């Protein structure tokens, strides 16, 4: 018999908020995390703006000891885990630790650590590298440290699937609960802001404001859009067996109803203009959730302000939902939190849980000029009061990955 899986805790750090309530308030008031980058020099970059997490002090969440050898990704994720564990009101003990898991999506998290470690090895020789920094060079370091810092001894997994990684990590967590491998899993994603990752998106021409005639503007679905606001984030959510959560008498923010996935490679770093995989992923998510197109009250879109992706997503929604597409409100929270790559899906889930719990739809901010190719209801600029029962979360990327998730209000 299929188990019911619910979400009982949220911990996150974004460029516009720290913690669940702060995040929901920021979405409600349309607060953007856009700011000048201070983490590294931007003299050699055309774009100097991004979604940086300012005033982050890991000591506030992790205490003063054991931080020196940890990189930024790990500090962000472990801090988010501390919030998620507290928010879920889960007391982790020797008796239950084997029943708790960690599932994290991250793809770029170790780039800076690899660069720094190799730079020392090349300049001064391998014998002069700091061995304490070597663990940061492996992609599973942040997830492993979450288990270490919270005494979690159940399974620990890292998925590196790019833009969809945190939704894929949540699917892995969902399956592990269904298969009795865990009763509760802290699942989500993390990506840090560093010069190496910023350079990558800069070189691929993904960033807004790269061309001399273009302004930097993060405006999904708007005709003026010209690229992403690259951002960092960490988000973990407590996914739990319903009966386990009910026994603990904890707060339930929403229920996980289903997932849909389709790998549809097209060309290197190019979106499939036909959106074949995205449409398949949406349909599979609805099928697994046992829902019809009329059941979806709100779509939390992937839209990241790139000209092609936002248009493709709109067309996919119209093809799957038909005329019903015009009746479903859609918003792009990346207009506020930017494109945090592997972490972005988890942020969309956290935002959707706010919609389910607080009955409001986050706005798509910076929306001004209507694009004829993007003609749906994007909840422009202002929050909207709305009773929300079923939500579709969409994530996809130019690497061929397409992952969707359906959430429902707990009844």
Q: Which residues contact 91 (CB under 8 A, 6 or more apart)?
A: none
CA distances for 359 relative to 20, 257, 292, 351, angstroms: 15, 19, 21, 11
Given 216, 248, 280, which residue is the final one in a domain? 248
The closest of 353, 312, 351 to 334, measured between CA atoms, is 351
| Angle, helix 20-28 to helix 344-358, in steps of 10 degrees | 80
Range of the domain at 53: 5-248
Q: What is the pLDDT of residues 111-136, one digit of tens each?
A: 888 888 888 888 888 887 888 788 89
The token pair that represents 310 in the structure block: 């936002």
Same domain as 27, residue 129: yes
How do beta strands 5-14 and 254-263 pair?
Answer: antiparallel
Say what the pLDDT of residue 53 is: 98
Given 248, 274, 301, which residue is the final one in a domain? 248
Same domain as 132, residue 191: yes
Same domain as 263, residue 243: no
Same domain as 298, residue 241: no
Say what the pLDDT of residue 254 is: 98
Same domain as 174, residue 291: no
Q: What is the CATH number of the domain that holds 374?
A: 3.40.47.10
Same domain as 368, residue 231: no
| % of the chain at pLDDT higher than 90 | 90
The model carries a pTM of: 0.97
Same domain as 156, residue 47: yes
Same domain as 181, residue 125: yes
Given 190, 224, 248, which residue is the final one in a domain? 248
Counting the structural domains of the chain, the total is: 2
| Angle, helix 344-358 to helix 165-178, in steps of 10 degrees | 70
Same domain as 349, residue 226: no
pLDDT (average), residues 291-298: 98
Same domain as 158, residue 209: yes
Task: Band the pLDDT of 213: cuts 50, 70, 90.
Answer: confident
Q: What is the pLDDT of residues 342-377, one digit of tens each?
A: 999 999 999 999 999 999 999 999 999 999 999 999
CA atoms within 13 A on the CB side of 89: 10
pLDDT (average), residues 241-247: 97
């Amino acid at each position: 018999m299929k188990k019911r899986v619910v979400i009982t805790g949220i911990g996150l750090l974004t460029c516009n908020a720290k913690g669940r309530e702060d995040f929901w308030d920021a979405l409600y008031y349309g607060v953007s995390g856009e700011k000048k980058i201070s983490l590294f020099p931007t003299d050699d970059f055309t774009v100097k703006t991004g979604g940086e997490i300012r005033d982050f002090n890991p000591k506030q969440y992790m205490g003063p000891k054991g931080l020196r050898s940890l990189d930024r990704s790990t500090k962000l994720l472990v801090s988010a885990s501390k919030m998620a564990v507290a928010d879920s009101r889960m007391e982790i003990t020797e008796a239950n630790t084997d029943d708790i898991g960690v599932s994290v999506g991250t793809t770029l998290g170790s780039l800076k650590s690899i660069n720094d470690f190799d730079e020392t090895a090349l300049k001064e020789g391998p014998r002069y590298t700091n061995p304490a920094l070597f663990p940061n060079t492996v992609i599973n370091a942040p997830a492993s440290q979450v288990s270490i810092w919270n005494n979690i001894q159940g399974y620990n997994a890292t998925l590196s699937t790019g833009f969809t990684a945190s939704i894929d990590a949540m699917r892995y967590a969902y399956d592990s609960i269904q298969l009795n491998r865990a009763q509760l899993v802290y699942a989500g994603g993390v990506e840090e802001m560093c010069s190496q990752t910023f350079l990558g998106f800069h070189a691929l021409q993904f960033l807004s404001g790269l061309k001399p005639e273009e302004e930097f503007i993060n405006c999904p679905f708007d005709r003026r859009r010209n690229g992403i606001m690259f951002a960092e984030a960490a988000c973990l959510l407590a996914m739990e067996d319903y009966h386990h959560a009910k026994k603990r008498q904890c707060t339930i923010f929403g229920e996980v109803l289903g997932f849909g996935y389709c790998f549809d490679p097209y060309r290197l770093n190019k979106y499939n203009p036909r959106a074949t995989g995205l449409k398949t992923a949406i349909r599979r998510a609805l099928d697994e959730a046992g829902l019809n197109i009329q059941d979806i009250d709100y779509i939390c879109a992937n839209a990241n302000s790139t000209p092609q992706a936002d248009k493709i997503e709109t067309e996919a929604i119209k093809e799957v939902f038909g005329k019903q597409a015009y009746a479903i409100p859609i918003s792009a929270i990346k207009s506020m939190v930017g494109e945090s790559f592997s972490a972005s899906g988890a942020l969309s889930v956290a935002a959707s849980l706010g919609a389910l719990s607080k009955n409001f739809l986050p706005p798509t901010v910076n929306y001004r000029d209507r694009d004829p190719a993007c003609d749906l209801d994007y909840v422009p600029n202002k929050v909207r009061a709305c009773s929300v029962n079923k939500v579709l979360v969409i994530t996809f990327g130019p690497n061929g990955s397409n992952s969707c998730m359906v959430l429902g209000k707990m009844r």
